[in-house]
Each structure stands twice: as structure tokens, then as C-alpha cells.
């Protein structure tokens, strides 16, 4: 899927049911923790996408026994009790931020020499704060090019433990990476978060996965964490459907005035992005909670002023439907989005303006004004969320094409097929 993909506007409200694939964020966290566990674990509902494939391939290169049944969305992995079997490996992580950050911490817990690298964009994404944190704990980690970005070299002799400062303003993944590796350290790890922690729900998710595998963390208001040396227990773990992926279908109901149910996802999900439905409710949609589902019923939309720091992976989804609301929509406190697969704030502004929308850009977000749009081909910047978000815009505004639609393989290879089934059935 390299040629631009035309999106056909729908002529009636979309209705139907969909079950997105497993959560990428949960899959990659569970894989790391299972690899560190003391024995064999089985993960079900595992996402099969580029981000999870590079994680699985890397764990195999590191010597872990990994069996992946794609047809059953199941992975069996034999953990090695907090050690890394291979004494050396070269890992290629494409543009998967969770993979390179989590694996850097895992490698630091090993014994040997490891190199982690990725795509051109990955070599522009920050990892210096994680490197500094691991070195405070006794690691020997360097940015090969001296840019505080990948490629990364790890000369590992296990983690000593101790006290560490982890900045929180760029990415919560640095903190999550240290947290998951911390139980393998020889002594207690005390973490102090420096500055304001972004994307707190993802840290909550990390702690929940660690808890499911038998590790407890003492913490105070997400600013201080203490982890004693512990062993992860082998576990059978079920992964929820991806809440970020679900946001596109909820948004489709919102802009078409339809009613779409996402199965397997509830407000009790570990993923903070499930709260995207609260933003839609504020815009005028009706949200219906089922015992094992969430339904969104669209209605006339109104613009809102919203802090999306905690659910920033859905900010693009909201921005893509904001032009259809009555009144402007202001998205705030998402400056860390500039360090994602692309500078997502800038990319949103450019592509919305390409469609003819009036947009104001701020350092920490943007404001989208309502109004008619014209046909255009949307550039996606090798960013899966740009492609999926603007596909929803195309359901309402004629003449939209999505450049490089195959980039959705990063987290949701079947996205356009699932969207087509939904539109064909309505």
C-alpha cells in the first residue's frame, strides 16, 4: 500500500461493531516483563504489527525462547529470571519508540555488549534522559553519535541500583523503561521524577503490568518510586484491544452521526486513551457503556478547549474531526507530541491547512477553526496515526487521499480493511 488511497465519503451515518487488535503499548510492556520473568509466560490478544514484530525479533536475537502464533494472537516466552541470555546482539527497531527504549533498559540488565538502532527518524528521537538514568544505576550506555539519540551502545554488567533522577517532560517511556528493569537490580532502586510527568496513564499501565507479573512498586503521586530487588512471576496475561486504535472508530461515529460499538474495551481498561470518549461526550456525542464494550453515538459537534496531555495519542484523532464542529477546538499541553514518530503538532497544522482549514499553532498544541475543506492528498510522514486520523476526515469531506497508507502497519495493519467493512455494512 504505497500509492495514495482515496477515502470515499459516506452518505449515511455509520453503524456497526468493531474489535481493534491488541494494544501495542500493553503488548510491548508485557513482552519485556515476560522476558524478565522467572519461567514461561503466555500472552494472549497480542498485537501483530511492525512495532511488536521488531520487539519479538529483538527478544529472539537476545536469546529468549519466543514462540509466536499469529493466527491465535498468542505468544509463549520463556523468561530468564532477570537476565539476558545472549552476551551480545545488534537490534534494529525501525521507528518503534517503546521497543528501543524498553529494550535499552532490558539490555542494561544483562551481561555483554548490545547495539540498538533504527530508522532515520528514530535517529532523531531523544533517548539521552534514559541513557543518563541507566548510567546512574550502574549501567554503561552511550549514544554512539553523541547526539543523545540512537544508535545506542550498551556494555552491560547488570544494574547496581541506587537513586536515579528521570526527567518526565519528554516521554513517560523513559520512566516506564527504568521501572520495568528496576526489579533486576542488585539493590533497591529509588526514582525521582524531575519536572512534570507527561502521559501519566502510560506509567499507570506499566505499574499494572508489573503487578500482574508479581512485582510491587511503592510510589507517591507519580513523583517518587521505590523498587526492591524482585523476581517477575511467569503469568498467563490477556492483552486488551487497543484504545488508541478504537478512537478512530469512535470518531467515525461522531462525524457521521452514526453509532459504533467497540467490543472488548471498557472504561476500566488499563489504557488511558479510553478516555477519548469523554472528549467526544464533551463535543456532543452520547457514550454508552456496556459490560464488555463502549458505544459512541454521534450528534451535532461543538468545539471544545481540552488538555490532552494524558491521552496525547488521540490528539490527532480529535484534530481530524474538529473542523466539523460548531466553534473552534483548542488542544493543549501536548508539546511532547513533537518528539513522536514525527513532530505531530506541526504535521497536523500543515495537513489541516492543506485541506483549507484555518489552524493556529502553539508550542504546546493547536487550535482548529470550523469551516469547509477542499480535496487534497494528505502526507503522513511515516506516521501511522496521521494516516488513520485523516482517513476519518475523509469520511465526511470529499476528495481526500492518504499518502503511504501502508504506514499503518506500525500498529494496525488491517485498519483500512476494518474501516472498509464498517463503511460497506452501513
**Taking Cα atoms as reference points, which of 239, 240, 273, 266 lies closest to residue 34?**
239
Helix (H, G, I), strand (E, B), or coil: what is residue 331? Answer: strand
CB 210 within 8 A of CB 241: no
Specify whether 117 is catalytic.
no
Alpha helices in 330-411 (DSSP H): 344-354, 384-394
Side by side, the strands of the sheet bearing 259-263 are 15-18, 259-263, 293-297, 286-289
CB contact set of 348 (below 8 Å; sequence gap of 6+): 315, 316, 319, 359, 366, 386
Q: Among residues 62, 109, 60, 103, which one has the least CA distance to residue 83? A: 109
Angle at 65 between CA 102 and CA 176, to 5 degrees: 15
Q: Which of 48, 242, 313, 404 is catalytic?
A: 313
Retrieve residue 176's grid coordinates. 516506564
Q: Strand 40-44 to strand 236-238: parallel, antiparallel, or no bridges (unpaired)? A: parallel
Kindly report the number of other CB atoms within 10 A of residue 221's CB atom. 7
Residue of 351, 341, 350, 319 whose CA lies nearest to 332: 319
CA-based torsion, 361, 364, 370, 373: positive or negative? positive
CB 38 within 8 Å of CB 234? yes
- State how far the Cα of 421 lies from the Cα of 415, in Å rounded to an integer: 10
Q: What is the dihedral angle through the alpha carbons of 256, 409, 339, 277, rounded to the nearest 10 degrees?
A: 30
The CA-CA-CA angle for residues 416, 249, 352, to 5°, reads: 80
Q: Mark 80-103 as b/e (b = at least 16 C-beta within 10 Å).
A: bebebbbebbebbbbbbbbbbbbb
Catalytic machinery residues: 313
Amino acid at each position: 500500500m504505497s500509492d495514495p488511497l482515496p477515502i470515499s465519503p459516506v452518505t449515511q451515518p455509520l453503524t456497526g461493531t468493531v474489535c481493534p487488535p491488541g494494544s501495542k503499548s500493553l503488548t510491548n510492556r508485557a513482552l519485556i516483563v515476560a522476558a524478565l520473568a522467572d519461567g514461561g509466560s503466555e500472552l494472549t490478544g497480542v498485537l501483530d504489527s511492525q512495532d511488536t514484530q521488531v520487539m519479538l525479533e529483538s527478544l529472539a536475537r537476545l536469546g529468549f525462547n519466543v514462540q509466536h502464533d499469529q493466527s491465535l494472537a498468542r505468544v509463549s516466552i520463556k523468561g530468564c529470571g532477570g537476565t539476558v541470555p545472549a552476551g551480545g546482539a545488534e537490534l534494529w527497531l525501525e521507528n518503534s519508540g517503546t521497543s528501543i527504549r524498553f529494550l535499552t533498559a532490558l539490555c542494561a540488565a544483562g551481561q555483554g555488549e548490545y547495539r540498538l538502532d533504527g530508522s532515520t527518524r528514530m535517529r532523531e528521537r531523544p533517548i539521552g534522559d534514559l541513557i543518563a538514568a541507566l548510567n546512574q544505576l550502574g549501567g554503561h550506555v552511550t549514544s554512539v553519535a553523541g547526539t543523545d539519540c540512537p544508535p545506542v551502545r550498551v556494555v552491560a554488567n547488570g544494574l547496581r541500583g541506587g537513586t536515579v533522577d528521570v526527567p518526565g517532560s519528554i516521554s513517560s517511556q523513559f520512566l516506564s523503561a527504568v521501572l520495568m528493569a528496576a526489579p533486576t537490580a542488585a539493590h533497591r532502586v529509588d526514582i525521582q521524577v524531575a519536572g512534570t510527568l507527561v502521559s501519566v496513564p502510560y506509567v499507570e499501565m506499566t505499574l499494572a503490568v508489573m503487578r500482574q507479573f508479581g512485582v510491587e512498586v511503592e510510589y507517591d503521586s507519580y513523583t517518587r518510586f521505590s523498587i526492591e530487588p524482585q523476581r517477575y512471576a511467569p503469568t498467563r496475561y490477556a492483552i486488551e484491544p487497543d484504545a488508541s486504535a478504537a478512537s478512530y472508530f469512535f470518531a467515525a461515529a461522531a462525524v457521521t452521526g452514526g453509532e459504533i460499538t467497540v467490543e472488548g474495551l471498557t472504561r476500566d481498561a488499563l489504557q488511558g486513551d479510553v478516555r477519548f470518549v469523554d472528549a467526544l461526550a464533551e463535543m456532543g456525542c452520547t457514550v454508552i457503556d456496556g459490560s464488555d464494550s463502549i458505544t459512541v453515538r454521534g450528534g451535532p459537534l461543538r468545539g471544545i478547549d481540552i488538555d490532552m496531555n494524558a491521552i496525547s495519542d488521540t490528539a490527532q484523532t480529535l484534530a481530524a474531526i474538529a473542523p466539523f464542529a460548531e466553534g473552534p477546538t483548542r488542544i493543549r499541553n501536548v508539546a511532547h507530541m513533537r518528539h513522536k514518530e514525527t513532530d505531530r503538532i506541526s504535521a497536523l497544522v500543515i495537513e489541516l491547512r492543506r485541506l483549507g482549514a484555518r489552524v493556529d499553532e502553539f508550542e504546546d498544541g493547536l487550535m482548529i477553526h470550523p469551516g469547509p475543506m477542499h480535496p487534497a492528498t494528505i502526507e503522513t510522514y511515516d506516521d501511522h496515526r496521521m494516516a488513520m486520523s485523516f482517513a476519518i476526515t475523509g469520511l465526511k469531506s470529499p476528495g481526500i487521499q492518504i499518502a503511504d497508507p501502508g504506514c499503518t502497519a506500525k500498529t494496525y495493519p488491517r485498519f483500512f480493511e476494518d474501516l472498509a467493512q464498517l463503511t460497506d455494512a452501513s
